[in-house]
């Protein structure tokens, strides 16, 4: 499970946690988020701009 | 005055004092102005006194912007984390939230319990609407922040002018699609504010509602669920405004309708002037480039920036939307508005004058340099604009 970060506002998407408010259950892989996904906090950064912080 | 300091390994001691620190308190004492008309009415007995707050907002503030001029000062980047952590700034935004409820209730009480001419009721509705427009501005500042408490306050204050969809639509819709032809909250060159409003108000509601629907569907919930953030805010509006109608009678219907419309129109006005004619280029994948500071019109005027929690430093806001108001920066070579927002609103209300002042400014921007293909143009006006300015012709500032 990986953690990915928005390079603009540092919002973190943790695959293990998902994002309950956004409707992504725990275990949802970043890869499987919609293609048009943009950062839920800043709305500026596209999905492919997110940077992987840790993975195992 | 608080001074922030940092010992930097390369740059040595960095220190910063925010000269506007105590000026931000003006945002909290702004309700004095809506109430000033009522105070002067009691002093003089003349209903003309009720127009004072509107005169202040639309005539005095633009003059004060011209008199006090610009503040282009920026905090050093290294100091920004300390500045953002200083709770003083955010507490000011928190305090304004209950004040927006209080001012609307006070003005509604005045309208509902005094014998007033129709013109006085209109003046009070516009005054209350202008102040609730500032409430949308407070919601804008709070709704961009990450702590849930601040997002809750944004939802609450949006209930005052019944504009509960704003934060969802603004953060996810406008910020993602800003300065593109399809964005209902970015105005096009040649589009008057009176045409723009028909795209902006319904377009924003529709987009906000759709986004909330998609989010709730992912949670396997109906859009009519109690978890709908938009409906929660509108429910508070119904209690507040329904309560005012019950308490003060039928006069509240036209009063609240005009109040709500005028508050929304403040946002329409801000959206109109913030990105007029600006367009993001498409990258090699056919996708719009990331929003840059030159995709928003900026203004550094001291007075109106203080009133609006630095909203006019809009270029940095769109490039870095979660940055707090006290940390927003000015940059070199930004699209610059020739007055603060309130002065620019007046200009926008007279379309021929707006085009005369702004169209040449759009074309003279360094990244546009007269190239009409890089301008967001109203398709209905394209022919006339091409005939007037030519394709690719350089236009002097």
Q: Which pLDDT tens digit goes with each residue over B84-97?
A: 999 999 999 999 99
Q: How far is it, in rounded angstroms, from Cα B273 to Cα B275?
A: 6
By C-alpha distance, the chain B residue nearest A8 is B320
In DSSP terms, B321 is beta-bridged to: none
CB contact under 8 Å between B218 and A24, yes or no, is: yes
Dihedral sign computed on CA atoms, order B22, B24, B26, B27: negative
Is the pLDDT higher at B286 or at B268?
B268
The DSSP code for B146 is S
Q: How far is it, in rounded angstroms, from Cα B123 to Cα B259?
A: 10
pLDDT at B223 over 50: yes
**Model confidence at B392, in pLDDT bands (50, 70, 90)?**
low
Please report the residues numbered 15 through 54 in chain B whose beta carbons come closer than 8 angstroms to any beta carbon of chain A: none
Structure tokens at B152: 């809750």
pLDDT of B42: 95
Min Cα–Cα distance to chain B from A37, Å: 10
Task: Write down the ipTM of this complex.
Answer: 0.91
The DSSP code for B281 is P
pLDDT of B33: 83
Contacts of A41 in chain B (CB under 8 A): 146, 171, 321-322
CB contact under 8 Å between A42 and B215, yes or no, is: no
Q: How far is it, in rounded angstroms, from Cα B282 to Cα B239?
A: 46
pLDDT at B324 over 90: yes
Nearest Cα residue to B296 out of B317, B274, B277: B274
Q: How far is it, in rounded angstroms, from Cα A43 to Cα A9?
A: 10
Q: How far is it, in rounded angstroms, from Cα B155 to Cα B19?
A: 31
Min Cα–Cα distance to chain B from A55, Å: 25
Structure tokens at B171: 């953060």
By C-alpha distance, the chain B residue nearest A44 is B176
Q: How far is it, in rounded angstroms, from Cα B200 to Cα B262?
A: 14
pLDDT, tens digit, 9 for 90 and up, residues B194-222? 999 999 999 999 999 999 999 999 999 99
What ranges make up the beta strands (E) of chain B? 3-8, 12-17
Residues of A with CB under 8 A from a CB of B: 8-9, 11, 21-24, 38, 40-46, 49
Q: What are phi and psi of B17, to 5 degrees?
A: -120, 125
CB contact under 8 Å between A43 and B321, yes or no, is: yes
**Model confidence at B29, in pLDDT bands (50, 70, 90)?**
confident
pLDDT of A56: 56
Domains and CATH numbers, chain A: 1-56 (2.20.28.10)
Contacts of B219 in chain A (CB under 8 A): 23
- H, E, C per residue of B210-233: HHHHHHHHHCCCCCCCCCCHHHHH
Q: Find the helix packing angle between B229-248 and B252-274, rounded to 10°.
A: 140
Nearest CB among A23, A38, A41 relative to B146 is that of: A41
pLDDT at B394 over 50: no
Nearest CB among B174, B219, B322 relative to A42 is that of: B322
Q: Give the three-class secondary structure for A4.
A: strand
Nearest CB among B174, B175, B215 relative to A42 is that of: B175
CB contact under 8 Å between A43 and B171, yes or no, is: yes
Q: Which of B218, B222, B232, B319 to mutate to test the interface with A (most CBs of A within 10 A)?
A: B218
**Rounded mean pLDDT, B234-239:** 98
Nearest Cα residue to B50 out of B66, B61, B39: B39
By C-alpha distance, the chain B residue nearest A11 is B146
Alpha helix ranges (H) inside B61-192:
61-68, 80-85, 87-113, 118-143, 148-158, 166-168, 175-177
Min Cα–Cα distance to chain A from B86, Å: 18
Min Cα–Cα distance to chain A from B123, Å: 38
pLDDT of B397: 39
Min Cα–Cα distance to chain B from A42, Å: 5
By C-alpha distance, the chain A residue nearest B178 is A44
The DSSP code for B173 is I
**Model confidence at B396, in pLDDT bands (50, 70, 90)?**
very low
Average pLDDT, chain B: 94
**Model confidence at B136, in pLDDT bands (50, 70, 90)?**
very high
């Amino acid at each position: 499970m990986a953690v990915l970060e928005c390079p603009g506002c540092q919002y973190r998407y943790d695959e293990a946690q998902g994002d309950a408010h956004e409707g992504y259950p725990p275990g949802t892989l970043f890869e499987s988020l919609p293609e048009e996904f943009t950062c839920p906090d800043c709305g500026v950064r596209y999905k492919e701009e997110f940077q992987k912080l840790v993975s195992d | 005055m608080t001074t922030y300091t940092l010992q930097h390994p390369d740059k040595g001691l960095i220190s910063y004092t925010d000269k506007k620190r105590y000026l931000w308190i003006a945002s909290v004492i702004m309700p004095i102005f809506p109430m000033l008309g009522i105070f002067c009415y009691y002093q003089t007995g003349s209903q003309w006194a009720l127009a004072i707050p509107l005169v202040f907002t639309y005539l005095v503030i633009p003059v004060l912007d011209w008199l006090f001029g610009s503040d282009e000062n920026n905090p050093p980047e290294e100091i920004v984390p300390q500045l953002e952590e200083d709770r003083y700034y955010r507490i000011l935004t928190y305090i304004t939230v209950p004040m927006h409820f209080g001012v609307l209730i006070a003005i509604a009480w005045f309208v509902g319990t005094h014998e007033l001419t129709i013109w006085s009721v209109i003046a009070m509705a516009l005054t209350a609407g202008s102040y609730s427009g500032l409430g949308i501005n407070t919601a804008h500042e709070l709704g961009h922040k990450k702590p849930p408490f601040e997002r809750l306050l944004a939802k609450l204050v949006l209930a005052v002018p019944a504009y509960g969809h704003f934060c969802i639509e603004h953060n996810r819709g406008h910020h993602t699609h800003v300065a593109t032809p399809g964005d209902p909250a970015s105005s096009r060159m040649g589009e008057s504010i009176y045409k723009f409003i028909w795209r902006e108000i319904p377009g924003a509601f529709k987009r906000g509602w759709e986004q909330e629907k998609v989010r709730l569907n992912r949670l396997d919930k109906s859009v009519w669920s109690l978890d709908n953030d938009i409906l929660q805010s509108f429910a508070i509006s119904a209690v507040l405004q329904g309560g005012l109608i019950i308490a003060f009678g039928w006069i509240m219907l036209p009063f609240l309708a005009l109040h709500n419309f005028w508050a929304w129109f403040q946002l329409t006005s801000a959206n109109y002037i913030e990105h007029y004619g600006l367009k993001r280029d498409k990258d090699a994948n056919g996708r719009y480039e990331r929003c840059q500071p030159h995709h928003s019109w900026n203004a550094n005027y001291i007075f109106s920036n203080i009133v609006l929690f630095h909203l006019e430093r809009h270029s940095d806001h769109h490039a870095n939307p979660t940055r707090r108001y006290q940390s927003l920066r000015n940059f070199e070579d930004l699209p610059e508005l020739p007055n603060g927002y309130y002065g620019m609103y007046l200009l926008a209300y007279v379309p021929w004058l707006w085009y005369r002042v702004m169209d040449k400014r759009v074309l003279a921007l360094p990244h546009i340099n007269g190239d009409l293909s890089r301008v967001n143009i109203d398709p209905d006006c394209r022919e006339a604009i091409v005939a007037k300015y030519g394709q690719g012709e350089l236009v002097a500032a």
